[in-house]
Amino acid sequence: MTNSSVASSICSIVPPYLLARLAAAEDPAKATAAKSARRALTGIDGVESARLAPHSAPSRGSGTAFTPSLRRTISDALGLEELPGTVVRSEGQPDTGDPAVDETYAGLGATYRLFSDAYGRSSLDGAGRALEATVHYGRAYDNAFWDGSRMVLGDGDGEVFERFSKSLTVIGHELAHGIIQYTAQLDYRDQAGALNESIADVFGVLVEQKLLGQTADQASWLVGEGLFTDLVQGRALRSLKAPGTAYDDDVLGKDPQPGSMADFVKTAADNGGVHINSGIPNRAFYLVAEALGGYAWERAGQVWYDTITERNFPADATFAVFAAATLTAAEKRYGAGTEESTAVQAAWKEVNVLV
């Protein structure tokens, strides 16, 4: 996948393999969920096809040009699968009383502030780009995604999934795909695609941790916590701390994420397993944060941010290439043989990625 098509793959929070399991559900109690999952799978194909038209890739940016302005616009799709929808809340306007609108507005702000406060970056492009989102996309739509220009959130089916705006990590994750689009521009397939998903997970959990003021040992390290209804045996979509343990449900199956290269999944599905194998770099980041302690968005997050904003970073990076780049970033900022560089090297070794 070339840089010109980086943004043309829809980046969704719910993996297609999970939707496929739900779509095939025969449990009458999940009939609406199964129907919604089938529609969401079709929606992914439709959106992706629409976005495969040639377009110019955004220029890479380090985020050093700072425009101190947060500009948010929330639109309402009114149950249609059409974008952008009708504008219902703009920057500075009060709460609307619609939970999806107000949760999304707050989530955009929390994500902006993580990158602004911790890394000196102004918005997704580093130059104050407006943050746009659409809520109430489709009827009982079972997903949230970044489409290359805006974040889009469904309301969930009510049987398996709650509304997607309820999870701050989901909002942070999807906007982080926008950050990647303007920085590393990682291909959305194979190991590079898994890195794309992992980095979005990393910054998604950091948005929540910073808002809550949680240290690494206080955080849940879960992505999508609270999305599942009480009918599902599971806590979240993914766990950075313990990949493969987020859910284990009769209908959805067991969380398939590996936490080590020893269990790397070879598959042609899901763009080469981008939502599955992302568990390996996810675990590596958690181990760095755990070893360093304190607030994970500070030293551990800084190393990951420095890595993706390095100019000429290869869009087709493998786990090994990315691991080496994080070690270089740690040594460049903190020095060789420091606590930070040692933690990075040890983390990748533990997940069996050679640096």
Active site residue 340: no
**63: which 2 tokens?**
């985020």
Q: Do 272 and 336 touch, CB atoms closer than 8 A?
A: no
Between CA 59 and CA 55 the distance in angstroms is: 12
CB atoms within 10 A of CB 311: 8
- Determine which one of 132, 174, 197, 225 is catalytic: 174
Catalytic: 173? no
Given the residues 208, 225, 275, 340, select the one marked as catalytic. Answer: 275
118 CB-near residues (< 8 Å, 6+ apart): 206, 210, 297, 298, 301, 302, 305
CA dist 236 and 227 (Å) reads: 7
The two structure tokens encoding residue 284: 């590596």
Amino acid at 120: G
Residue 149 neighbours by CB under 8 Å, 6+ apart? 132
Q: Give the three-class secondary structure for 144.
A: strand
Mind telling me the catalytic residues?
Answer: 174, 275
